[in-house]
């Protein structure tokens, strides 16, 4: 491909970061943008599709729930989709009984078969934190006890976390659960953000609208590192084409400093000949004898679609967590001190790439919710991408 036939900007990865940058570049500068993705769909991990048998919208890479308190992000996403009034609530099965999460006064009173007032419950939790009350523990096990007391921690957090990380919680850093909420009222809403909901006609429709512009072209099933296709790393760097890269940062540098560690998730699909199996969208399984961490019943995310759903069948995905290997889908950065130090070295190399902007979860080795991805993409466009395109 001759140099003058390249687009003005190539974006590697059709997830929310890449789509937001593409949309902004076209809107503000009128440039031509090529988006490539190794997958066969846009949307990154937020991609969803409709299950033909049940009518449920399946979130292909696990439950995606939109919530934010950032008005800039909320105003931006509402340009491309309306949202339902869905409010996320989670339940947990422990010893054959179902409890509401996060830990709230309902959880506490049900667990202790009591009718504590908020003040009494607060005093109880402080007492059950024992010698850890008022301290600042550095491992997850002690931090959990300090936050919600030993009985509740051991019932709802300890085994769940051990399954999620395949590591004893005493060997995990405390900051994994530094925001573990305890509510001394009956509020069982999972998120505390100002705005919350699900896109009315699905995630994929939302993201298709973001790039519905003739100046944006998408090529799927294309590997950035495959030199047999035109939009490859070597050719683009040689031609001086600005690139937004949202793939794994260690992969970009051919793992030359070593591999960053991730957790991944495997899903096992189970179908039931019934309308509703759990009665909620997400059921956690807190006990060690259940091998999966939680189950997602997708139909229950969208009760407003009742008339489009099959009420004799439902589909559930059981979620299993493990350490990722090369070739797996990376979900959660492990973020040990060694990983952070390694990422800092990769970040130095990334900063030295004059025409490449690194973004998204994989490109910056961070765990982001969707609203964080969009916010960082809007900022990256303003501060990094637009200056590159104006040169």
Show pLDDT as tens, one digit a residue, over the chain (391 residues).
444 589 999 999 999 999 999 999 999 999 999 999 999 999 999 999 999 999 999 999 999 999 999 999 999 999 999 999 999 999 999 999 999 999 999 999 999 999 999 999 999 999 999 888 888 888 899 999 998 999 999 999 999 999 988 888 888 888 887 666 789 999 999 999 999 999 999 999 999 999 999 999 999 999 999 999 999 999 999 999 999 999 999 999 999 999 999 999 999 999 999 999 999 999 999 999 999 999 999 999 999 999 999 999 999 999 999 999 988 999 989 888 899 999 999 999 999 999 999 999 999 999 999 999 999 999 999 999 999 998 7
pLDDT of residue 179: 63
Q: Which of 263, 318, 343, 375 is catalytic?
A: 263
pLDDT of residue 138: 87
| Angle of CA points 360, 29, 220, to nearest 5° | 45
Q: Which of 301, 330, 298, 367 is nearest to 60 (CA)?
A: 298
Task: Report the distance separating Cα 330 and Cα 246, nearest Å.
Answer: 13
| C-beta contacts of 302-311 below 8 A and 24+ residues apart | 302/56, 302/57, 302/84, 302/86, 302/198, 304/84, 305/55, 305/57, 308/55, 309/54, 309/55, 309/56, 310/53, 310/54, 310/55, 311/275
pLDDT of residue 281: 98
Q: Which of 40, 113, 131, 179 is catalytic?
A: 179
Q: Which of 294, 297, 365, 375 is catalytic?
A: 294
* Residue 312 CB partners (closer than 8 Å, separation 6+): 273, 274, 275
Q: How many CB atoms lie under 10 A from the CB of residue 279?
A: 10
Tokens 């309308």 locate to 275
**386 in active site:** no
**319 in active site:** yes
**271 in active site:** no
Q: Which of 44, 78, 30 is nearest to 209 (CA)?
A: 78
Domains along the chain? 9-78+201-258+333-389 (3.40.50.720), 101-176 (1.10.3110)
Q: How many CB atoms lie under 10 A from the CB of residue 41?
A: 16
Q: At what angle do helices 140-148 and 158-165 cross, to 10 degrees?
A: 150
Fill in the DSSP letter of residue 384.
I
Instruction: Report the b/e string of 205-242 with b at 16+ CB within 10 A.
Output: ebbebbbeeebbebeeebbbeeeeebbbbebbeebebb
Task: Report the distance separating Cα 94 and Cα 385, nearest Å.
Answer: 49
* Residue 191 CB partners (closer than 8 Å, separation 6+): 65, 67, 88
**113 in active site:** no
**116 in active site:** no
Q: Where are the beta strands (DSSP E) in the chain?
A: 9-12, 33-37, 48-50, 57-59, 66-68, 90-94, 97-101, 195-197, 216-220, 243-245, 262-272, 282-285, 294-297, 314-323, 332-333, 356-358
Q: Is there a contact between 360 and 18 (Cβ–Cβ < 8 Å)? A: yes
Tokens of 75: 């105003």
Q: Is there a contact between 60 and 357 (Cβ–Cβ < 8 Å)? A: no
Q: Which of 297, 319, 365, 375 is catalytic?
A: 319
Q: Which of 371, 367, 372, 384 is nearest to 245 (CA)?
A: 384
pLDDT of residue 182: 87
pLDDT of residue 336: 82
Tokens of 330: 């990376």
Q: Which of 186, 255, 306, 367 is catalytic?
A: 367
**361 in active site:** no
* Residue 276 CB partners (closer than 8 Å, separation 6+): 297, 299, 300, 314
Q: Which of 183, 203, 343, 361 is catalytic?
A: 183
Task: Report the distance separating Cα 385 and Cα 26, nearest Å.
Answer: 12
Q: Which of 213, 328, 369, 386 is catalytic?
A: 369
Provide the 3-class DSSP secondary structure of residue 283. Answer: strand
**306 in active site:** no
What is the end-to-end Cα distance of the chain in Å, rounded?
22
Antiparallel, parallel or unpaired: β 97-101 and 90-94? antiparallel
């Amino acid at each position: 491909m001759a140099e003058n036939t390249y687009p003005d900007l190539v974006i590697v990865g059709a997830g929310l970061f890449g789509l937001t940058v593409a949309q902004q570049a076209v809107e503000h500068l009128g440039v031509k943008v090529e988006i490539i993705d190794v997958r066969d769909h846009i949307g990154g991990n937020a991609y969803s599709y409709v299950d033909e048998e049940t009518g449920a919208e399946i979130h292909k890479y696990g439950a995606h729930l939109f919530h934010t308190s950032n008005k800039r992000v909320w105003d931006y996403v509402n340009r491309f989709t309306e949202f339902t009034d869905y409010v996320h609530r989670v339940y947990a099965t422990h010893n054959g009984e179902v409890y509401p999460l996060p830990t709230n006064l309902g959880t506490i009173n049900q667990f202790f078969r009591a009718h504590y007032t908020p003040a009494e419950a607060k005093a109880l939790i402080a007492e059950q934190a024992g010698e850890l009350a008022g301290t600042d523990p550095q491992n997850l096990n002690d931090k959990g006890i300090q936050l919600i007391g030993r009985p509740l921690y051991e019932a709802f957090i300890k085994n769940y976390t051990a399954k999620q990380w395949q590591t004893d919680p005493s060997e995990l850093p405390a900051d994994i659960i530094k925001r573990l909420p305890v509510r001394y009222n009956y509020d069982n809403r999972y998120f505390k953000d100002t705005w919350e909901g699900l896109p009315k006609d699905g995630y994929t429709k939302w993201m298709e609208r973001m790039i519905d512009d003739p100046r944006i072209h998408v090529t799927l099933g294309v590997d950035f590192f495959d030199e047999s296709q035109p939009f490859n790393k070597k050719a683009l760097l040689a031609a001086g084409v600005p690139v937004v890269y949202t793939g794994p940062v260690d992969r970009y540098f051919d793992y030359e400093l070593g591999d960053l560690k991730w957790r991944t998730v495997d899903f096992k699909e189970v179908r039931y000949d019934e309308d509703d199996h759990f009665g909620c969208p997400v059921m956690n399984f807190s006990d060690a004898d259940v091998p999966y961490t939680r189950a997602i019943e997708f139909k229950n995310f969208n009760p407003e679609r009742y008339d489009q759903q099959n009420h004799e069948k439902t589909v559930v995905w059981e979620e299993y967590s493990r350490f990722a290997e090369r070739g797996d889908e990376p979900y959660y950065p492990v973020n040990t001190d060694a990983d952070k130090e390694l990422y800092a070295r990769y970040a130095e190399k990334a900063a030295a790439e004059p025409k490449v902007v690194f973004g998204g979860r994989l490109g910056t080795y961070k765990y982001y919710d969707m609203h964080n991805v969009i916010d960082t993409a809007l900022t990256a466009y303003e501060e990094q991408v637009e200056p590159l395109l104006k040169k």
